[in-house]
Structure formats: C-alpha cells, structure tokens
Amino acid sequence: MSTITRMTDIESNELNLQREKSAHIVKAARSATLANILAPLLCIPMFQDEVQILNLVLWLVYMFVAVAVRSWIVYSQANESTAIVDPERDLRRMTFAVGIVGLGWGLGWPLMAPELSLVNRMIYVYMTTAAMISSMFAYSVNRQTFYAFTLPIMIPALSTLLWPTHIFPWPFSVGLAALYLVVLGIAKNFSKVFEDSIRLRFRNESLYQELARERDQSVAANVAKSKFIALASHDLRQPLHAVNINLELFNGQQLPPQESRLLQRIKSSIAALNDMFDGLLNMSKLDAYMTKEIQQDFLLSDLAESVREIVQSKADSKNLAFFIEAPPLVVRGDRLLLQQIVLNLSLNALQYTERGSVSIEFFTHVDQLAFRVIDSGVGISVEDQQHIFNEFYRADRTRGAHDGLGLGLTIVKRLCNLIGAKVDVQSNSGRGSVFTVSTGCPTSQALSASRSATTLPDPSGDDPHRLQGKCIAIFEDDETILEAYRQTLSARGIRIVVLSEHEQALQDQLESINHIDCILSDYRLQLTTGDLLIEKLRENYNREIPAVIVTGDTSPDQIHVFAELNVRVLHKPVTFQKIVSTIEEVIAG
C-alpha cells in the first residue's frame, strides 16, 4: 500500500510540474505578444527598399498569420496552474504556437537576407538572436517548446555559411554557432533550476500538509483524552462520593483498636483518591480557562500559615520535619493561585520524601516574591527533569512506590504560565530536589500590626449547631447518599426536606413548605438536572434561594455551564464537612 501511495504521489507531482511549466510559458508568451507584433512591422521601413516586394509581402503575410494564431492560442490557455486540466495538451499547443513564429523568423533568412545590405543583415541578426536569448527564460522550462522556437531560427542562420553567396564571413557564423551553444547551456541550467524549485515547493507543501495532519490528529487526540477523562472520572466520582459521605458516619473512637486502625487506613486511601480527582478537576478548569488571575494585596504570613495547616499534618504522618519561613511582606498578586502552586510543590516533595525534611523558603528578588521548596527525597534524574511537567508523567523508578496521577507538577507549570511565573528545578537522583519559583509579584514591607483585608476567613464548619433550625431542601436520587445526608444533617439540628423530581409531586410538596433556607442538589438526576429544579424552586418562592450543586461532571464545557449558574458548585468526591461549610457560606451570603 505504501509503495502504491508513493507512486501516486510521484505521478501527482510530475503532473503538477507540467502544469507549472505550462502556466510559466503562457505568462511569458503573453508578455512577449506586443514584441511579436511590432518586430515584423519595424522590418517594413527598414527592408522595403532592398528586398523584392513579393518576398517581403510573403514574409509579412506569414508572420501576420503566425502571430495571430500564436496570440489566439496563448490567450485561450489558462494562465494559472490550478486551472490547467490537461497540461501535456496545453504544452503541445504552446509548442506549436511559438514554433510557427520561430519558423517565420527563420524564413526571413532565405526570403530577405541575401538582398539586404550588411548593416540590415546585422540588424536582422540582432532581432533574431534577441528573440532566441529571450526564449531562454520564457520557453526553456519545457525543452520541446524551446527547441521548437530556436531551431527554426538558428538552422537557416548557420546554413548561410554554405550558401554560394557569402552573406557573413565564416568567423561570424562560427561565433553565432558558439552563441547558440551558450544559449543552450544557459537554457538547460535554467530549466533544471526551475524544476528543482518547483519540486522543492511541492515537498515543502507536502511536509506542511503532513504537519497539519499531525497537528490535527494531536488536537483530536487531546480533545478525546479530555473527554475520556471527564467521562471516566464522572462514572468513578459517584461511588467514591458515596464512600466519602458514609465513611464520615463511622466513629473510630467507638471501634476496637484494630478496626479503628483499619478504618484509618481506608480513610487514608480514600484521601489519596480524592487528591487524584482534585488534580483532574484542576486540569479541567485550566483546560476550560476557568482559572482566572485576581490581583490583590495580602500578607505573605497568611499564605504561609494556610500552607502550614495543610502540609504539617501530612508531614507529621510520615515523621518528616517541615519548615516554612515567611518574611513580613505584603504581596500583590493572586493569593489562591500562589497558594495552590506552593501546596502542589510541597505535597509533591512530601510524596517523594521518606526521611529527612521538607522546607519552604520565601524571599525577594528585585522586590518580587520568590520561593524555594527543598526536600531530602529520592531526587530527579537529569533525563526525567525534561518530562516532569508533562501530563501524567511519572518516573519509572518511583511509579510503583507512590500514589498519584502525575498531574501535580503539570498544574504547577500551567499555573505559573497563567500568572507569568517561572519555575526551575535542581536535582540529582538520591540527593533531593529544589524547586525555585520566581513569581513576578511585587512585594513591600508589612506593618507589624497590619492585617490584610483579603485574609481568608477561618473555617466555621466546626460548630455543629451553626445550622440548627435551618430548612435544607434536597434533590438526590441515590438512596445511599440521601440516607447519609439525612443522618449527618439531622444530627446538626437541620430540618431536612427531600423533594421529588416529578413535577406534580414536587408541586404538592411545596404547598406545605413555607420557607427554604438552602437547596442541596445533585446535578444529574433520573428525570432532569439540578439547575432546572433550583430555578423552579426560586420561581415558586419568588426569591433567589441559596443553592449548592454537587456533580461529577468536570468537562471544560460543563465547567463553563456551572460558571454561568448563580449557585455554588462542588465536584465529587467531596467530604461531608465541605458540603456543610459550603451550605453555611451560601446561607451567610
């Protein structure tokens, strides 16, 4: 099959080459049309007193007919290669058209030259050689066309050496023959250069098309990958979400020690799965361009403290020392994105460090924030350093020993690109790693008593009675999750109202409910979607009831849809504590 394809490509390129030759000759012939009309006319005043009138008329009549036929053929041809259907036929026609004009100039030698004075003979030689030389660039791209024009001119001219009447001295004829040989050599070289340039252009076009096909295939593969990840993660998120909710119903303190340890191991494994799904969600948000940079002033110490709260417990669980140093600075930038970059690098360092420490050092460079994440872990080989920021890349030697999808550093790289930061890595196998990030965020000294207005509020979900007495409407078609909602929310003194998807049943339920404080809904239900039900409840009560949608859809298109809804969106799997804290936030407004 590949051999047939190559043969087809070769045949196609040769056909296109013929088209290019035909188009070139047509354009050149059209540009020379005026000269072909004027040159014979100029011979009338110069030769009429020396040439017999019959010979002159015969020659002029022939030239008139030849130029007329030539002009008709030339202007009836397509002058664009893309419009030429049969290039071989067109080349034959052009060869005939220029050939009959060349023959006319050749006929001038026996019809007029013997009677001309030496000066006029030289003029005629000049006219014919000028036509021959111009044909080097006009017709030499096709050898048959070039010969058809030049041979009828040069054969009679060179044959004058054999005439009984010596029109020119023999050295002149020899010089004319030498000139023709030079013209032939130049024409041959020009033809080769023309063909080589056209073939090179075809190869370049072929390479461009191949690159374009590969680019399209790459884009299609990337889109397919994103869709597959979104669909696969959606199917996995639902059961994992149920596991998260139900695990929180267990009270480990009431279990025997061995079972309590087993439960803790299960929770740790589920937490690892949650981290993986969070990585996929972050990638989907970046793919959907839903991650936006927000410039604001914040205290670097606040960011450092938030990172410490998350990382310290994970470091303690591995018996690793954790250090974080933050000078008293006010930073201008996106705190949440910077915090995510620091967290991802820190958690990546913890994952690949089994003994020793992980430390974070903040500093300034040219009045801009920078930081290092230093670990004493397994290190990264020089070969792997070229790939660690690629999606789903994990070094072979660490793949079996550590969990994860290989997205942490990819997210770091893409977030750095988003905020204009630069990340660099220095590492050797077995000697730990140092990741340095130059953020480009301007800094200034913080006043000792100042606090940033943008400091994140402390979590308020620790108060079990904060939502007591509130009415929460729930749309959920999974009985396992629904039962978990009932137990956990009711234990906090919340009034639970489970609503139906069916329109008539829902309307009957709403007639007996005077007030709803918040709506908690799954997105994809059996008959409809959560956003439509939320809109229906808001229309029924004629107010914008705070709402939370829990969904497993993380495709970029779906993220755009959620962004347009005036509801809070949580992506599965999500812990019950997160659901409760989000309900508190939306009710508080």
User: According to the model, what pLDDT value does residue 389 have?
Assistant: 67
> For residue 563, how many other CB atoms are within 10 A of its CB?
11
User: According to the model, what pLDDT value does residue 4 have?
Assistant: 46
Q: What is the dihedral of CA 564, 567, 568, 571, to 10 degrees?
A: -70
Give per-residue burial for 285-314: e unless 16+ CB within 10 Å, then b: bbbbeebeeeeeebbbbbbbebbbeebeeb
Would you state the structure tokens that stand for residue 347, as one six-digit string? Answer: 């958690």
Stated pTM of the model: 0.44
Q: What is the C-alpha to C-alpha distance for residues 437 and 412, in angstroms, rounded to an integer?
A: 10
User: According to the model, what pLDDT value does residue 535 have?
Assistant: 87
pLDDT tens, per residue, the chain with 589 residues: 444 445 466 667 778 888 888 888 888 888 888 988 999 999 999 888 898 999 999 999 999 999 999 999 999 887 776 677 788 888 899 999 999 999 999 999 899 888 888 888 888 888 888 888 888 888 888 889 999 999 998 888 888 777 776 677 778 878 888 888 888 888 888 888 888 888 888 888 888 888 888 888 877 776 676 666 656 555 666 676 667 766 766 666 677 777 777 777 676 666 656 665 665 555 555 554 455 566 788 888 888 888 888 788 888 888 889 998 888 889 888 887 888 888 888 888 888 888 888 999 999 888 889 999 998 888 877 777 666 766 554 554 444 444 445 566 777 888 888 788 888 888 877 788 888 989 888 888 876 544 433 333 344 445 566 788 889 999 988 887 888 888 878 888 889 999 999 989 999 999 889 889 999 998 888 888 888 898 899 888 888 899 998 887 766 666 666 677 778 888 777 777 788 888 888 887 6
Contact assessment for residue 270 and residue 247, using Cβ atoms and an 8 Å cutoff: yes
Per cent of the chain over pLDDT 70 is: 78
User: According to the model, what pLDDT value does residue 10 have?
Assistant: 63
CATH of domain 471-588: 3.40.50.2300
Contact assessment for residue 103 and residue 156, using Cβ atoms and an 8 Å cutoff: no
CATH of domain 294-445: 3.30.565.10
Contact assessment for residue 407 and residue 393, using Cβ atoms and an 8 Å cutoff: no
Whether omega before 573 lies within 30 degrees of 0, making that bond cis, reads: yes
SS3 568: strand
Characterize the bridge pairing of strands 568-571 and 518-522.
unpaired
The residues spanned by each domain of the chain are 9-211, 294-445, 471-588
Relative orientation angle of helices 170-247 and 257-287, to the nearest 10 degrees: 150
64: nearest Cα among 45, 95, 40, 34: 40
Using alpha carbons, list the distances in angstroms from residue 402 to 267, 405, 412: 17, 10, 19
Contact assessment for residue 494 and residue 587, using Cβ atoms and an 8 Å cutoff: no
Q: What is the C-alpha to C-alpha distance for residues 582 and 579, in angstroms, rounded to an integer?
A: 5
Residue 360's beta-bridge partner residues?
Answer: 324, 373
557: nearest Cα among 291, 289, 222: 289
Q: Tell me 163's DSSP state.
A: S
Residue 550's beta-bridge partner residues?
Answer: 522, 570
Q: What is the C-alpha to C-alpha distance for residues 130 and 38, in angstroms, rounded to an integer?
A: 14
User: According to the model, what pLDDT value does residue 286 have?
Assistant: 55
Distance from the Cα of residue 146 to its chain's centroid: 48
Element (H, E) at 375: strand 368-375
User: According to the model, what pLDDT value does residue 274 have?
Assistant: 63
Q: DSSP assignment of 319-335, as one string?
A: T-EEEEE--SEEEEE-H
